[in-house]
Structure 1
Amino acid sequence: MTSTTKSWSDAATAAAAVGGYLTTVNTKAENTWLYNKFGNFGGTARDLWIGSKDNVTEGSWYWYNGTTSGDGGVTDNISSGAKWPDGTDKWASGEPNDSGTEDCGSIRGSINTEKWNDYSCTNTYYGIIEID
């Protein structure tokens, strides 16, 4: 995890500086683990940057490091309406909604949920760093 809150781009730069990237979430179990491990870091419920964006084509989400979503190799299985194999939603209700040009993905820990949300990339949150 980044040591301080950062914009999405600054969090991605911090991840690269230690040989990693903002995390891709490959399974529901991984998503739950990330939320449980970092969603209440320091005793505060918080949102966390993950490595998803839709800045190239609005509504077409992708993993910034170029990997697929892990669900059968379907690259776009992280866009609006995406579900985990058990049929539960990846995104929080009504998300992603691009309210105010929101192009960066997060785990929405601030409302005590492990579901995803889109935010303005200039907002500042902790970033979850993945290193292979």
Structure 2
Amino acid sequence: MKNVYIILIAVGSSILFSCSDEESPSLSDAKKITSFSIDGATVSIDESGKTISAELPLGSEVTALTPTIVISDKATVSPASGEVQNFTNPVTYTVTAEDGTTTSYVASATVVECVDEGNVISFTFDGKNYEIVKETKTWRDAASCAVERGGYLAEINSLEEQNAIYSQIESSSINAASTTAPDGGNASYLWLGGNDFDTEGSWIWDGDNSGEGTPFWIGDSSGSPVDGSYTNWGNEPDNFQNSQHTLGLAITDWPLGSAGQWNDIDHNNNLFFIIEFD
């Protein structure tokens, strides 16, 4: 009988130790920021350096940004996700794991311009400011960039304006091979603000790509100016391959025109462009 009693004590002790182990799980030490997002921003996380970089488009304000933050399971972060922050200076985010250990990330936000200022040539004509941008973009992206910079793709409304712009282009050391349009006779062009996106053959000045603007030409190469508007087409427009709906100012000759004249070309070409400011 004594032997049985001893065995029961041993079994009971084993059960108690087993229960004690199950009731004391280890705490998580996970403490990462796995996602950090701000509306309109391009964000990257450098896990090794514990830094977060957010790039916002020109015109953005960094004084009141609201990050959405995703962190490791069972961790917390301070400042919290969804809290408005002033990113004039970098903001430190501290992540605390379930076990109480911490790590910090330094987050910064910068406003990125759509072009490198080193590729911009500014000039003035008749009291208005212009920029020649020696970076290639599609027509729509160029128009968006022009708006970001406070202007619009240039409108040419007189022979004097045409000559002033073209003279400035000629003195701007442009590499013509860097801004060519294969569908435009392989000539070189800079974007202007004209398009006929809405109705084929109805050309308007719409340098901000708003879909609205002043009409200046109706028809194809045999068409006519609207209300005496200034134009400088080559033997164009011809809507070659039914895909040419935006206006380029040629800086080299092509089979249907010469340098300085206008041509309708595909909006997906990547070309330099001219911005005008009111």
TM-score of the pair, normalised by structure 1: 0.79
SS in 2 for 1:2: strand
SS in 1 for 2:233: coil
Which residue type is aligned with residue 76 of structure 1? F
Contact residue 194 and residue 247 of structure 2 kept, 8 A? yes
What CA distance in whole angstroms lies between the structure 1 residues aligned with 2:224 and 2:166? 18
- Aligned with residue 110 of structure 1, among 252, 257, 267: 252
Say if 2:154 is the partner of 1:23: yes
Question: Match of 2:240?
Answer: 99
TM-score of the pair, normalised by structure 2: 0.40
Cα 1:79–1:116 change in 2 (3 A) is farther
Contact residue 247 and residue 262 of structure 2 kept, 8 A? yes
What CA distance in whole angstroms lies between the structure 1 residues aligned with 2:190 and 2:133? 10
- Aligned with residue 5 of structure 1, among 136, 144, 152: 136
Cα 1:39–1:107 change in 2 (3 A) is farther
CA drift at 1:97: 0.8
Contact residue 9 and residue 121 of structure 1 kept, 8 A? yes
Unaligned ranges ≥5, structure 2: 1-131, 177-187
What CA distance in whole angstroms lies between the structure 2 residues aligned with 1:89 and 1:129? 18
Identity %: 32
How many residue pairs end up in the alignment? 123
Contact residue 47 and residue 106 of structure 1 kept, 8 A? yes
Q: Which moved more, 1:53-62 or 1:27-36?
A: 27-36
Which residue type is aligned with residue 234 of structure 2? A
Matches within 5 A, 1:110-129: 110-111=252-253, 113-129=259-275
What CA distance in whole angstroms lies between the structure 2 residues aligned with 1:41 and 1:78? 32
- Aligned with residue 197 of structure 2, among 42, 55, 60: 55
Unaligned ranges ≥5, structure 1: 69-74
Question: Match of 1:44?
Answer: 175
SS in 2 for 1:5: strand
1 or 2 for the larger relative contact order (CA 8 Å, sep ≥6)? 1
Q: Which moved more, 1:44-53 or 1:100-109?
A: 44-53
RMSD, aligned CA: 2.6
User: Which ranges of 4 or more aligned residues in structure 1 deviate by more than 6 Å?
Assistant: none
Between Structure 1 and Structure 2, which shows a larger proportion of strand residues? Answer: 2
Which residue type is aligned with residue 26 of structure 1? N
Question: Match of 1:131?
Answer: 277
Question: In the TM superposition, what whole-angstrom CA distance separates every residue of 1:9-64 from its partner, at most 9, and x where no partner exists?
Answer: 11101101110000111101111111121156324344110000011111110000
SS in 2 for 1:41: coil
What CA distance in whole angstroms lies between the structure 1 residues aligned with 2:174 and 2:261? 19
